[in-house]
Amino acid sequence: MLKWLLTLILAVFLLGLLSPLLQRWWGKRRLPGDFSVRWRGQPYTFPLASTLLLSLLVLALGRLL
């Protein structure tokens, strides 16, 4: 359980760091569960719904292989 929690936290952190690059490539589309906060003039994004969707996609691919 702890491994999955750490993996989820790491995935949210990495997607948050990479989201500006992904937004340029993918456009401005976000899922309803993705949050963005502006703090001290710096935008921070927390892609919770995108992380869950990607996790389910990877799980499905893992089950198929």
For helices 2-26 and 48-64, angle between their N-to-C axes, nearest 10 degrees: 110
Give the predicted TM-score (pTM) of the model.
Answer: 0.50
d(CA 61, CA 53): 12
Residue 21 structural domain? 2-64
Query: Using one digit for the tens of pLDDT, what is the confidence trace for 6-57?
Result: 777 777 777 777 777 766 766 656 678 778 888 888 888 777 887 788 788 7
SS3 32: coil
Beta bridge partners of 39: 42
Distance CA 22, CA 2 (A): 28
* Total structural domains within the chain: 1
What is the DSSP secondary structure assignment for residue 43, as one 8-state letter? E
Strand, helix or coil for residue 12 = helix
* pLDDT for 2 beyond 70: yes
